[in-house]
Amino acid sequence: MHKVELAERPDWRTTALREGFAFHTIDGERYWDERGYYQFSEAQVMHGLHAPTAELHAMCLDAVGRIVESEALMTRLAIPPAFFDLVRRSWLEGQAHLYGRFDFSYDGKGPAKLIEANYDTPTSLYEAAAFQLIWLEEQIQRGVLPAEASQFNTLAEDLVQAFAAMPGHADFYFSTISGSLEDRGTTDFLRKMAEHAGIRTRHIDLEDIGLDGEGRFVDLQGRAIARLFKLHAWEHMFHEDFGQAIAGCDTQFVEPPWKALISNKGILPLLWQWHEGHPNLLPAFVDHSPHLPVPKGWVRKPYFSREGANVDIRTGEGERVFEDGPYDDAPYILQGFAPLPKFGDSYTLIGSWVVGGRASGIGIREDDSLITKDSSRFLPHVVIG
């Protein structure tokens, strides 16, 4: 694994425009950055990333099966008691799930270390599944990259298959909070994948979803929503007005409620407890003293946090790196500090995707700091040999 500098395609912004990739630049800063790429060997990808991704996914599913049978564990994961039954039932019924992303600290040599699992509302999907693939094909066509260059990237194909395997035939609604270009980019891409699978899709803003007198969720025309993809976290929905109507409705939610158990950082201490010493896991514990300073070599994270918010790192040398944020009302965990590898001036994080239960590909983020945030850059990758 190494980083290669490369001239950006002179016309990539036009390509982005044509392809509908609207958020390549955010607040004037590059988000998509093709002035470099990461190169992996096939062995690194298959043994270093693919295999651990598949194994960790199986471990997570196993953990869900254990957690839903224990009210004590669901309490520990901060699931509101009113939703124990919903979460348990969604698992026992085998409600279909679509996708998730593990974030790894990986340098191509030692084992990938699981930083966290984004299993409910992961984004950065379009850039991983589509735009980096288009980049690769163009660079091969133009002779910049060799014909034998490839990617660990069967995301699109696996998404189509996962949608094709979903139960039901009704229209599939895709919902986001209104006004987020990035979220909408993600769901519009997912709609395209669903349509490849022969599914009719519609968009509805989350705020527009209605609840009718019979307890059904309906669209703006009053039609029942039978299948709903929601780019909106379960831990939010549990506390929103419509949360209590979910158990009694017929809507099939994707991701299903049981995903709330894996997207929650509270699962990391459980994984460690049940698989202590696993090479891809970092030591992790529930933090019973969140008011105390973080011990050297540890990281404090809230159960529910996104974009690195409220993450508090104390390096082995005692240096503190902290990202403030709004997620200060949930329990915290302490996780062993695994510094992200540094390539040049940048810290690198690998997002490894699971689609329909398969390890499906990776996307790479770089940041100037140890905490990967919403300002981080997305870089493409190449697999050769």
Partner 1 sequence: MKPPIRRSSVKLVLAGSLPLALTACGPQEELYTVTQQSNYDSVAACVADNVPEPACNDAFKRALADYQRNAPTFFTPAECEAQFAPGGCQITAGGRYMPRMSGFELQTSAEVTQSQLDAGYAQGGGYGHVATAAVAGMLLGQMGNSAGRHYNAQPLYAYRDGAGQRHGLLGQRYGATGGGIQRVKQDEESSSSSSGGGGGGGYGGSSRNESRSATSASVTRGGFGGQATARSGWGGRSGSFFGG
Scan residues 301-360 and list those touching partner 1 (CB under 8 A): 304-307, 309, 325-327, 349, 351
Window contacting partner 1 (CB under 8 A); options: 53-61, 249-257, 272-280, 374-382 = 374-382
Q: Quick one: 215 or 318, whose CB is closer to partner 1?
A: 215
Window contacting partner 1 (CB under 8 A); options: 3-11, 85-93, 209-217, 273-281 = 209-217
Among 64, 74, 87, 129, binds partner 1 (CB under 8 A): 129
Q: Which residues of 17-42 are buried (b: 16+ CB within 10 A; e: fewer)?
A: eeeebebbeeeeeebbbbebbbbbee
Q: Residue 224 has what DSSP assignment?
A: B
Contact status: 232 vs partner 1 (CB under 8 A): yes
Contact status: 112 vs partner 1 (CB under 8 A): no
Contact status: 233 vs partner 1 (CB under 8 A): yes
Q: How far apart are CA 138 and CA 151, in angstroms?
A: 13
Q: Quick one: 31 or 38, whose CB is closer to partner 1?
A: 31
Among 5, 27, 276, 317, binds partner 1 (CB under 8 A): 27
The contacts of residue 246 (CB under 8 Å, 6+ apart) are: 86, 237, 253, 257
Give min distance, CB of 296 to partner 1, in A: 26
How many residues line the site for partner 1 (CB under 8 A)? Answer: 107
**Angle in degrees, 0-180, between the axes of helices 51-67 and 267-274, rounded to the nearest 10:** 100
* Positions 174 through 193 that interact with partner 1 (CB under 8 A): 175, 177-180, 182-183, 188-189, 191-193
Alpha helix stretches (DSSP H) within the chain: 12-19, 42-43, 51-67, 71-76, 84-92, 125-126, 132-141, 155-164, 181-196, 234-237, 267-274
Contact status: 161 vs partner 1 (CB under 8 A): no
Contact status: 366 vs partner 1 (CB under 8 A): no
Number of residues that make up the chain: 385
Give min distance, CB of 81 to partner 1, in A: 18
Q: How far apart are CA 285 and CA 273, in angstroms?
A: 8
Give min distance, CB of 334 to partner 1, in A: 19
Amino acid at 359: A
Among 53, 90, 105, 124, binds partner 1 (CB under 8 A): 124
Which sign, positive or negative, has the C-alpha torsion 70, 71, 75, 79?
positive
Give min distance, CB of 365 to partner 1, in A: 6
Contact status: 157 vs partner 1 (CB under 8 A): yes
Strand partners, 29: 26
